[in-house]
A = this chain, B = another copy of it.
Amino acid sequence: MSPIEIALEEARAAAARGEVPVGAVVCAPDGRVLARAGNRVEELHDPTAHAEILALRAAAALRQSPRLPDCSLFVTLEPCPMCAQAASFFRVRRVVFGAYDPKGGGVDHGARVFAASSCHHVPEVIGGVREGECGAVLRAFFSGLRGQGGAAPLDPPLG
């Protein structure tokens, strides 16, 4: 299974827990999965518990190092500004994401964190990988919520 497929598995597992379905994987250069995580914001009462942050922290804990300069972060959705800046702080080599997020993204939209001159480490970015499937998981989740009586906002922040 490719890293983005594993991230999709994590996204689907997050949906099953009632979380906004975003999944993330941190890989070593040889493709080995160091950490995988899904969104756990609701479960942990913690809006910083995005899939990317959880996976990056787990990989760094495994390595006993705050820096992951040879690693790639795979995530099903364009990272928000918080997660984009975190990926920069962890010094990841590459960020690969699935669906674009015009409403909450912080890489190709909004604050465009990596484009700021004060961003000291800018990873390589590849967006739109398995975009259709990654976006479909999110759309299915939010349309299900709306079907239950409008529990979701009309314009949910996805990141």
Contacts and interface: CB of A to CB of B under 8 A. Distances in A.
A42 interface: yes
Nearest to A110: B118
Interface residues of A, number: 41
A38 interface: no
Contacts of A111: 81, 85, 106, 111-113, 116, 118-119
A101 to B, nearest CB: 8
Contacts of A112: 111
Interface in A99-129: 102-106, 109-113, 116-120
A64 to B, nearest CB: 6
Interface string A116-149: 1111100000000000000000000000000000
